[in-house]
Amino acid sequence: MCEAEGKVGVGVMGKLQPICPACHEILRGDLVASKCNHVFHRECLGIVAAKCPKCDMEDIGGEEAIPLYGLSFGEERQTRGNLDSSGTSSENVDESNEPKKIMQKILHTERKINVLSKELANLNEKVERVRQEEDQFRRRLLRAEKAMAHKDKEFQTLKDELETQKSSHASLLEQANRIRDRDAILEYLEIRKTKGDDQALQFIMTMGTSMLDPAPLLTEIARLRTFYRASRTKSQRDAAIARQNELRVQREIEECQQKVDALKTKLERRRNKLQRKDSHSPAPKRLHV
């Protein structure tokens, strides 16, 4: 049952009558019952729809409000020409109610201002909370940006270290390949020297199939083969030249020997001739000093 009692006001005829909890005016005209079972003017319920001023229930307006058609607790306006007990006409009653209407409008305006002020205060609080949240977000964003910059720096450092390690790995791998090729070449030469060409060829074929890239080994072997061929050709040419020089020297020695023999023969002849001449000539006189 709707509560229309509790607070009462004095009507036109001096009777105690229920009043609106919002505007404290007599309940008359277009009335509605809120979901908290209190009766309001329709305009007043629209103003205090957020919270009931009597029981403090929130959200009392909306579709749940029930219109009260034909219900009024005040006296109706008298028809034209129908006088009240004091002899005043309906026009005088309307004139006497004019200040009350103005006061009612003022109260409505004040309540609207109060409601709007509360809403403004709530909005200001929300704006302040939003600003605080924005400041917190900005601070978190700055911290995140600093952390991101630090992470980027660490990432760049690690990337540089990775590039350095890759270069070092490639260099070590190249050195290892060179050492392996060199050892393979030396082993090939040793096998060729000790076990023969067949075993050396078998070793080369085995190494070629086991290596990822046998081209460097084969290139080095081809270069070594070319070097040995060139060295052998040069040695043969040098040996031929040396042989020719030896033969020429032998011929010169033989010619010299022949000349020496001829000179010896001439010397022997001259010696014999001098001896024969000395034997026929007198002895020479000795000089005394």
Classify residue 203: in a domain, yes or no. yes
Q: What is the pLDDT of residue 143?
A: 92
Listed residues 23, 54, 71: the one ending a domain: 71
Mean pLDDT of 169-183: 79
CB under 8 Å to 203, separation ≥6 — which residues? 187, 188, 191
pLDDT at 208: 67
Residues 60 and 105 in one domain: no
Considering only residues 161 and 88, tell me which one the structure prediction assigns the higher pLDDT: 161
Q: What is the pLDDT of residues 189-203, one digit of tens each?
A: 788 778 877 777 787
Structure confidence by residue, pLDDT tens digits, 80-131: 334 344 444 444 445 556 666 676 677 777 778 888 888 899 999 999 999 9
- Determine contact, residues 89/57, Cβ cutoff 8 Å: no
CA distances from residue 16 to 31, 154, 198 in whole angstroms, order as listed: 18, 85, 135
Domain encompassing residue 59: 1-71
Can you give the CATH number for the domain in which 35 is found? 3.30.40.10
Report yes or no on 22 lying in a domain: yes
Domain boundary among 229, 251, 276: 229
25 & 123 share domain: no
Same domain, 104 and 62: no
pTM above 0.85, yes or no: no
Average pLDDT over all residues of the chain: 76
Q: How far apart are CA 77 and CA 93, in angstroms?
A: 8
Q: Which pLDDT score, from 0 to 100, does residue 127 have? A: 93
Task: Tell me whether residue 249 is in a domain.
Answer: no
> Among 28-42, 133-147, 257-271, where is mean pLDDT lowest?
28-42
Q: How confident is the model over 132-158, as a mean pLDDT?
A: 91
Domain identity same for 111 and 192: yes
User: Does residue 204 form part of some domain?
Assistant: yes
Which of 229, 250, 268 marks a domain boundary?
229
Question: Same domain, yes or no, for 102 and 225?
Answer: yes
**Are residues 104 and 41 part of one domain?**
no
Q: What per-residue confidence (pLDDT) applies to 193? A: 79
CA dist., res. 237 & res. 242, Å (int): 8
Query: Phi, psi (5° rounding) for residue 147?
Result: -65, -40
Domains of the chain: total: 2
